[in-house]
Structure formats: C-alpha cells, structure tokens
Amino acid sequence: MTSKPQVIVQVVDNDMCTGCGLCTYKCSSNALSMGWNKEGFLVPELTGSCDNDAACISVCPFNPLPLEPVKDETALAEIFLTEGTQTEEKLGRLIGIYAAYSNEFRETSSSGGIATYVFDQLLDKGIIDHVFSVRSPNESGPHYEYKVASNKTELRDSAKTKYYPVTLATVLPELEKLEGKVAIVGVACFVKAVRLAQHYDPVLKEKIPFVAGIICGGVKSKFFTEYLASKAGADHENIKSPNFRIKDVTSTASDYAFGCEDVASGDYKKIKMREVGDMWGTGLFKANACDFCDDVVTELADISLGDAWLEPYSKDGRGTSVIITRSPLAESIIQEGANSSAIVIESISPDTMRASQQGSYNHRHDGLYVRVKEAQAMGVAVPEKRYGKKPVSLDVALVQKLRRVTRRKSLEVWSQTQTAAEFDKKMHSALFNLRIATKITHIRRMGFKHFIQRLTAR
C-alpha cells in the first residue's frame, strides 16, 4: 500500500530538513528523490510508491523519535568515538585541540587549509581511495554539488567553503560501485546522518573509515547566493563560479569578500561581506532546522575543522583553522604534519576552543530554550535536545524571536522581489528591530558601566 514516507510526514512537512539526502539512499522502495522547495532548499520528495518501513527516518538527523541508543550526539559518540581520551563540555569526545594552518593549502582554502591537507594525506597513505566533497559540477545545473574526488586535482578543486545547498544524495549511490574506501566531509547534521547510516548498516563502517566535520553556522538557501550576486552588481539569474570566501591577506580573517562571474557581461563582480552586513547573527536565508541543532563543533566526526574566530588568529587574513581530533587516525595525521613542518600548529585549551565559537553557543545552546518552546506551542515535534533546558532572560528571548522573524521573512521577501536593493528596503524594519534588541543584550552582558567606558574610549 502506498503511503507518505515518515521522513516527509515528521520532518519535511514540519520544515525540519537540511537536505542531507541519507533518507533517499536508505529508502527501501526507492520512493524518494531530492528536489528544490519554494524557499531554495533541497528536500526529499515522494517520487514513487512507499512501503512505509520507516528506513528513511531512521537515518534522519532530525528524527523526532529516535531509538534510545542513538537518541542524540552524545549517545552516538559512545558508539563511534570510543577511543577519545577525554570529554569536554560543549566540545564532546576528543583527543586534541589545536589552531593550525597548512603551508601548502592555506592560500587556496577558506581558512587554514587543514581539510585539504588531511584528505591529501589519507589518499597518499592509501587509507582511503575517494572523498565525497563539494565542488562545481562543471555543467549546467546547481553551482555546487557533492562529487567523488579520487585524485589530488579533484581534491584541490573541492577546497573552500561553499555556502550553498548540497546533498549527499548525488554521491551515495556510488558507494556500492566504487572500489576501495571513501571519506566524507560535511556539516554536523550530515555527519550525524552518516553515523546513523553506519549504525544501522555496519558494512558502511568499513566502507567509510573517515568522516571530517566542518563547523557550521547554519545551512543557507540558494537565495543567499542569489542575493549576494545581486548585491555585487551581477544578474543573479546568470552567474558562474560563486566564491564565498575571497581572502584579503592584508586584512583580518573575517574581512573576506564574495565574488562571481556575471555571464552576460563577462565581468567578475566582487563585494566585501562587511559591506553586505551581518548574514549570520541575523539568521538571514537560514534553514529552519538549523535552529534546532545543538551540535556546534561536529561532535561525531573523526576530525572537526572550523575558523579560528579569536585573536590573535583572527587578525591574520591568510586564515587559521581550529581543529578537534576525535579519533587516533585523525590525531596521527595532524601530529605527523606537525613533525614534518607541513602544518604550523599549536595546542589550544578547551576554553579557547569554546571561545572561538562563542556566538554560536549563545544562539544554538542558550537560545534553544525559546525556539523549542515556540515549536512545541505550534505542535511541531522536535528531537530531544541536550541544551536549552534553562529559561533565558527577556532580552535574550526577544532577540531569539526577532531572529526567527528575520529568518522567515528573508526567504519570503527574496522569493517575491529578487533584487538586493528591494530586499534591503523590505527587510530594513525587521533588521533594525533585531539590531536594537541585540545591542540591549550586549549592554546587559558586559554591564552598562563597561559599555559607557567603551563608548567614551572611541
């Protein structure tokens, strides 16, 4: 009997999908495929007859009713990261914590080039034969997608972060066809989905011996790319090769630019992100599900990698990565790189690591209380969360509610206007209210006296 798949009923219909695509891979009746929704995200769609055996939802990172052994990231870490030598609050199971950059790959990467270095070493040593990573398909269609990288040229083409919707559904069918072992790189929810698939299918543990996690601030809609292109002065409907992280080596790490080729004119358009404004703290163009993820530092990966948004590293526009090794293999790759001087590295404390992602912790842990309560009031089933159990102050609650407003409104407005100037005009009021509320929260946190001292010191 044909019915609606559980992953659509419980996840997609509740706007809790980030598009990882593992459900399409595990669907026993091949009834699911990925497609673009009206908000510019990739989500599973019913394209065949469903026998409703719930295989699809078993591997979903936002399954609202997971089985007890895999109920959250902490439980999964006890299955997959048993050799972690310590457990740190908010960081998970781990072996080492570092700030580093690769001498070879730093220049061509978004940050310190450590992801490319690690995969390069895994290929060199024969530990893996392929990497599932994101790069341009070099054909008509989406700007980026997951592809199979089987050599160093393909691996280098995968360098740099792409703030664009992608799905593992484009490469997962290749798992059975490819000879040898595969490594996968992804954001926290994608990593969790891979671990769930490995839990239910032990063959995948052997096939996928290494998973790298990219510390994420939220999955963006393809509208984000279109908006940036328009903001840069390009025809957003006809661009090529969007580059989200163009470094300025003479400035700071956060002073990067967006650029793309305007196909009609042949001109390369570029704009500094500081001219665009805050695209992360405002929640603009972000997937709803990201507001219900409490895994800030990809706790289930063999290695977690992100930007060192903390002085002194943030002062260097060439980029520095923060690293958390969680498996002996990841730790050995990093230590060998340090010993050979292939990477420049220093150990950092757990507190320093947490501080490098403090903004994300504030939003995704502390503010989670407000968002879960809001979802429950609307009858939306949310997976059990490890954080966000304590009520927050009224000013923090207001910021959270206003961020939810700007997130929703940004997707609605762009789908109706599709020019950056018109978008900015229609979003002005919502963003102004959020900015004022956020400023009040900052004043309270630092203390009014300290705030006045900072103002008078300018």
Q: Cβ-count burial of 263 within 10 angstroms (0-12 exposed, 13-18 middle, 19+ buried)? A: middle
pLDDT of residue 29: 87
pLDDT at 419 over 50: yes
Same domain, 326 and 190: yes
Q: Which positions ≥6 away from 218 have C-beta within 8 Å?
A: 280, 283, 286, 287, 290
Regarding whether 431 and 400 lie in a shared domain, the answer is yes
The answer to whether residue 376 is domain-embedded is: no
pLDDT digits over 49-108, tens only? Answer: 888 888 999 999 999 999 999 999 999 999 999 998 899 999 999 999 999 999 999 999
**What pLDDT, on the 0 to 100 scale, is given for residue 28?**
86
> Do 248 and 320 have their domain in common?
no
> Mean pLDDT in the chain?
94
Q: How many angstroms separate the CA atoms of 327 and 309, rounded?
A: 24
89/147 same-domain check: yes
The tens digit of pLDDT for each residue in 348-372 reads 999 999 999 999 999 999 999 999 9
**Does residue 281 fall inside a structural domain?**
no
Shared domain for 124 and 238, answered yes or no, is no
Average pLDDT over residues 312-338: 98
Q: Are residues 19 and 103 in the same domain?
A: yes
Q: Say yes or no to pLDDT of 242 above 80.
A: yes
Domain holding 245, by residue range, is 222-276
**Confidence (pLDDT) at 393:** 93
> Is 265 in the same domain as 331?
no
Q: Are residues 348 and 256 in the same domain?
A: no
Q: Are residues 128 and 177 in the same domain?
A: yes
Among candidate residues 276, 294, 309, the one where a domain is terminated: 276
Asked if residue 442 has pLDDT above 60, the reply is yes
Q: Is residue 372 part of a domain?
A: no
Peptide bond into 209 cis (omega under 30): no
Q: Residue 378: inside a domain, yes or no? A: no
In a domain, 370, yes or no: no
The answer as to whether 362 is a domain residue is: no
Q: Are residues 62 and 97 in the same domain?
A: yes
Mean pLDDT of 376-396: 93
Q: How many domains does the chain have?
A: 3
pLDDT value for 455: 57
In this predicted model, what pLDDT tens digit does every residue of 194-235 receive, in sequence order? 999 999 999 999 999 999 999 999 999 999 999 999 999 999
* Residues 126 and 248 occupy one common structural domain: no
pTM of the model: 0.95
Residue 301 lies in a domain: yes
| 134-180 pLDDT per residue, tens | 999 877 779 999 999 999 999 999 999 999 999 999 999 999 999 99
pLDDT category of residue 322 using cuts at 50, 70 and 90: very high
The pLDDT assigned to 1 comes to: 46
pLDDT band at 449 (very low <50, low <70, confident <90, very high): low
